[in-house]
Amino acid sequence: MIGRDSSVMKAWEATVRKTQAVAKKRANSIFGMTHADEEDHSRKDHSNGSEVYELYHAEKVLSNGDYYKGDWADNFPHGKGKYVWTDGCVYVGEWVRGKTMGKGRFSWPNGPNYEGEFKNGYMDGTGTYTASNGDIYKGQWVMNMKHGNGVKNFANGDKYEGEWRRGMQEGQGRYEWRDGNYYIGEWKNGNICGKGSFFWGDGNRYDGSWEDGLPKGTGAFRWEDGSFYSGNWSKDPRDQSGTYYPPGSSQEGHLEWDPGEVFNALSAYEVCPGEKVSILPSQKRLAVWRSSKGGDGAKPRRMSIDGRVSVGLEKPSDRMQLWGGCEGDFSGTKTPTTADDNLTTLNHDGSISRGTHLQTLKAPTKSKRQGETICKGHKNYELMLNLQLGIRHSVGRPAPSASLDLKPSAFDPKEKVWTRFPPEGSKYTPPHPSCEFKWKDYCPVVFRTLRKLFKVDAADYMISICGNEALRELSSPGKSGSFFYLTNDDRYMIKTMKKAEAKALLRMLPAYYNHFRAFENALVTKFYGLHCVKLTGPAQKKVRFIIMGNLFCSEYTIHRRFDLKGSSLGRITIKPESEISETTILKDLDLNFIFRLQKSWFQEFCRQIDRDCELLEQEGIMDYSLLVGIHFKDISENGELISSGSHTPTGDPENEGTPCTSRADMDLLLLDPTRWASIKLGVNMPARVERTVRKSDCELQLVGDPIGEFYEVVLFFGVIDILQDYDISKKLEHAYKSIHYDPTSISAVDPRQYSRRFRDFIFRIFSEDS
């Protein structure tokens, strides 16, 4: 363990203090500080520890033309100051070691400005943004986005007051148009969506369901005289149905009225789009210059406003200077200290061995595309054809648009409907080259409605599974003996199931369905269909299939995959580092990271994990796990992972002024809030991971100790394997293993204990990124 009190740490800190002192002296000569400036110094502790920094007032014109005037400490703006960029952007306010932190005002050259709270370079807290077109938003912010409660007054006279989420109206809100008409109700992704009411100035109103800014579903239109029209609403007249109720006992009123008039009237009431910001405060680079060990004539290096340094070639001693990093940061490369013989090396399972250096992490070897294409002649070729024919028949069959409120009979697994598929075809099935088989859909109405809930287009779904491209079979069955198949576009995974698993799913299907209706960001596996193929002949073999979403279907390369349960027995991958590829599934004792999520995401993650575990516990399910995929944003040409604030030698001194690592990808997303639509809890999530190490004398230390080395990543995660009952076989497994091993270390435990242990573990390896 490398701890705060170890000799390694003490020697390392001493080197840090020494190099920082040298950096101060060199910075003074670079900036051309006068003796008058030096006399204005005042010693002050700004580190909440043992380090003391010099705080003084400075006025500097930097070599790239930027200008700064204000408090300065240890080569950083620190305190209150004004920074002017050459492009005309200006920040006036509070700084903490080179980061905009506290209250301040940021203005853009084309007119917009933000005044309020900042955190780590982002607009974060409470603040007011005035756009160039005159729009004004006043309310809460998180990482440059409107998030929380806020009021926006539009330049055209419209006004929105209510909840915001990731830059767009979401939750409960009130929108009033300039003519006085207004809407009160639910919003989603910046659109009117959910339950709500629209009020006209003449006293008429609509109460009911909405989708994409228009009535959709059940609702009622009421006139001022008390009459109303109630029924099902849709933009498509064919889906409209309803009844007119006159006022009191009178038969007069609006008998000839057409519901389409409401849609025509509402077409004039659009929600004003927000102005897109040209560049965000967190994107602005802070030109802080310092010398390298070569002396004052060396090429200067630049630092981004969030404290990360961009460096070209540098000597080990330069690497020791901390710029905006936390005390105790490691660069991921050899760290020079006076006690090199005490440094460590990190094994792939996160444990450490004494006597060598902490090794740089590398991206795993690239692997070829997963799975073997099922071509003619493959042992499962006919089974694949049967599956595709059955799916095409099930999904393509015409059916009325199902309401989300399903009847209990829809969940009845005893409703067996078998369809016969003879090779010559029939009245309902096409001819095919496979053998005769029977096809069964389990609870087809429920799964059709689930696909609708998951926003799966029926045509796209059929093309993915039943198109001209063959399925791919994964090379080996899972631990349960089930086989896995992937669609050619990687969107869906098909798994063969045991009868017990199918029974478990059908038993929990009502609770599962209601769970996703209540929580759209549920992390448990999404199921799209449950089917069975029954082969004809003496064997009468039945093969059951479940169709699931593929969590790792993404444009990003998944560099590391972890299957995490919170148990330790057997939870390690016995493979040498050279054999670990991008598709290798690593386990609990292989994990060498802590996942750090932005505050609002972390809070939502914790709430959702609790909800999902409560569902599984109530349904008697155990042995599930959190599948996590990591895409590392910054990888050098030789495959080394580049940590935030560490550097990769390029050999090109001209590149020394270019940042090697930044939050550029995230900032691009933040510039256009609509691009956040692709980011959901567990999907495409920008985050950071912090590297950990385990004590070498503690083989079963489940979570390693963080060492302050961070990596910018994109995360994917979800709760998988949710169909295992705590049945008699699992109870016997628990009893047997409890005799030989620590009962807390084994996977097979009762659902209540499993849920508690799983949550405890997950909340140790995920934390808020502060």
Stretches where the chain sits below pLDDT 50 are 1-9, 11-12, 15-16, 19-20, 22-51, 289-346, 352-356, 646-663, 734
Which 3 state secondary structure label does DSSP give 748? coil
CA dist 323 → 75, 290, 308, 494, 498 (Å):
9, 11, 6, 49, 56
Closest CA to 542 of 553, 551, 531, 552: 531
The four Cα atoms 606, 584, 713, 676 give a dihedral, to 10 degrees, of: -70
The b/e string for 673-685 (b: 16+ C-beta within 10 A; e otherwise) is beebeebebbbbb
d(CA 588, CA 745): 11
Residues contacting 506, CB < 8 A, separation 6+: 411, 413, 442, 443, 530
Find tokens 């806020």 and name the residue: 150
- What's the CATH number for 368-550? 3.30.800.10
Closest CA to 207 of 227, 192, 221: 221
302 forms bridges with which residues in the sheet? 310
Structure tokens at 61: 């014109």
CA dist 449 → 404, 443, 458, 548, 607 (Å):
7, 10, 11, 15, 25
pLDDT of residue 246: 79
Closest CA to 120 of 281, 1, 248: 281
**At the topology level of CATH, where does 56-246 sit?**
lipopolysaccharide transport protein A fold (2.60.450)
Whether 56-246 and 553-644+673-769 share one fold: the answer is no
Structure tokens at 708: 């302050």
Q: 99-107 and 90-96 as β-strands: parallel, antiparallel, unpaired?
A: antiparallel
Backbone angles phi, psi at 626, to 5 degrees: -100, 115
d(CA 386, CA 369): 25
Backbone angles phi, psi at 597, to 5 degrees: -105, 150
pLDDT of residue 672: 53
Torsion sign over Cα 30, 32, 37, 39: positive
Instruction: Provide the residue ranges of all domains of the chain, joining segments of one domain with +.
Output: 56-246, 368-550, 553-644+673-769
Assess contact for 586 and 658: CB atoms under 8 A.
no
Q: Domain 553-644+673-769 has what CATH class? A: alpha beta
pLDDT of residue 430: 85
